[in-house]
Amino acid sequence: MSEKYESLFRLDGRKAVVIGAGSGIGREAALALSAHGAHVVFADLNGDAAAASAALSEVSTVAVVDVNDASSVSALADAHRDADVLVHTPAINVRKQITDYSLEEFDRVIRLNLRSTFHVLQLFGRSMCTRRVGSIVTMSSIRAATVEPGQGVYAATKSGLESLVRTAAAEFGPSNVRVNAIRPGVVETPLTAQLKNNPQWYSAYAAKPALQRWAQASEMAGAVVFLASDASTYVTGSTLAVDGGWTAVDGRYTPPL
């Protein structure tokens, strides 16, 4: 019995496709999956960044994908129909109050955060359901649960993503395919670089979580490995908060928009 538990998080012999593997959470997730034995496809819009990340792994493949381009996503899904794990991380945010948002900005955020997630989940879900095996992991945000001024559209995409995850879990479950989301708090990534460079904003966000600090991208990797591995075979349709306790103790912060 102990041998069974010793290999609970191992991913030997499995293929994992990580979209957004060129930087940030995607990069760390891909490296962690590789370290646990998976053959990882490092997929990113920036092929050079994906290759640089993949060079740090044991067994890997590099792929260029534009998740806003339906044909590009289709090509990636077709090329990796044998994927056992899919991790999808790309997102964008335009921080403005609702009354200041343009429709073009609204469409841009919705297109990347929600539409692309739907398309990726749809295509990889089809292949996994046909093979009757698979785990899909998407990236939500604390903004799906608690908002602040200037985060309306971004929050809507992440709430929508979590609804998609629950529905996909219900639909894919009979085919033995699991679908889950991770809900990070404030993480030091390229997406949050603007906030990190603002001392007032950085310190205010550091004070909000119970752990009183920002997260590193590497601190999301363990949750990804958990949801990808046999350690979570009875977990689906869930959102795992990896937010340092932010949503447990949340207070309001009005940022300088």
Q: Which residues are catalytic?
A: 154
**Are residues 139 and 123 in contact, defined by beta-carbon separation less than 8 angstroms?**
no
Tokens of 231: 């350690």
φ, ψ for residue 180, nearest 5 deg: -140, 165
Q: In what order do the strands lie in the sheet with 177-184?
A: 60-64, 39-44, 15-19, 85-88, 134-139, 177-184, 239-242
CA distance 152 to 123: 28
Position 114: which residue type? L
